């Protein structure tokens, strides 16, 4: 199965960027099983989200709280650049979407996964639109 992982973060100047955008690396877990560790918050609740420059889309999700959503984008639909008060674990179920970070556009397709770490970003759905499954984990405010 084709799958790519996009993990976001910030560079030394605090700009949003892709810290990983490639196929996951699987290793053996037991007979007939393999596992790929994708992302770890390092603790609970997770640490503060990065300081962003874009408008905050407040999900009203307390630090450590979890929300699961399904999001449908119409063909070509887009969002302005924004940040969230959460770490979002996203699986693109159908279609395609371009995620634009400060380091440029990153195209993802059905089957791909995204870890959006509350950084500045924008979305633009592909020509067929897209459906995304999103699990949000609330983060404390920066600094």
Distances (CA, A) of 107 to 18, 100, 101: 12, 9, 11
106: domain CATH number is: 2.60.120.10
pLDDT per position as a tens digit, 84-124: 999 999 999 999 999 999 999 999 999 999 999 999 999 99
R_g (Cα) of the chain, nearest Å: 15
Considering the entire predicted model, what is its pTM?
Answer: 0.91
58 Cβ contact partners less than 8 Å away, ≥ 6 residues apart: 84, 85
The answer to whether position 143 is within a domain reads no
The answer to whether position 50 is within a domain reads yes
The answer to whether position 13 is within a domain reads yes
pLDDT per position as a tens digit, 17-53: 999 999 999 999 999 999 999 999 988 889 888 888 8
What DSSP state is assigned to residue 102? T
Distances (CA, A) of 26 to 9, 23, 35, 36, 90: 22, 9, 5, 4, 19
Number of structural domains in the chain: 1
The answer to whether position 41 is within a domain reads yes
Residues of the domain holding 85: 5-138
Q: How many angstroms separate the CA atoms of 49 and 120, rounded?
A: 11
């Amino acid at each position: 199965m084709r799958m790519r992982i996009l993990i976001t973060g910030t560079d030394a100047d605090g700009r949003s960027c892709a810290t990983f955008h490639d196929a996951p690396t699987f290793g053996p877990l037991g007979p007939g099983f393999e596992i790929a560790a994708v992302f770890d918050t390092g603790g609970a609740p997770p640490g503060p989200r990065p300081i962003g420059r874009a408008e905050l889309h407040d999900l009203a999700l307390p630090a450590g709280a979890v929300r699961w959503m399904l999001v449908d984008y119409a063909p070509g639909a887009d969002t302005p650049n924004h940040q969230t008060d959460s770490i979002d674990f996203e699986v693109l179920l159908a279609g395609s979407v371009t995620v634009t970070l400060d380091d440029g556009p990153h195209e993802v397709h059905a089957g791909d996964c995204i870890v959006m770490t509350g950084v500045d970003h924008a979305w633009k759905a592909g020509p067929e639109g897209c459906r995304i499954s999103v699990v949000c984990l609330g983060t404390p405010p920066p600094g």
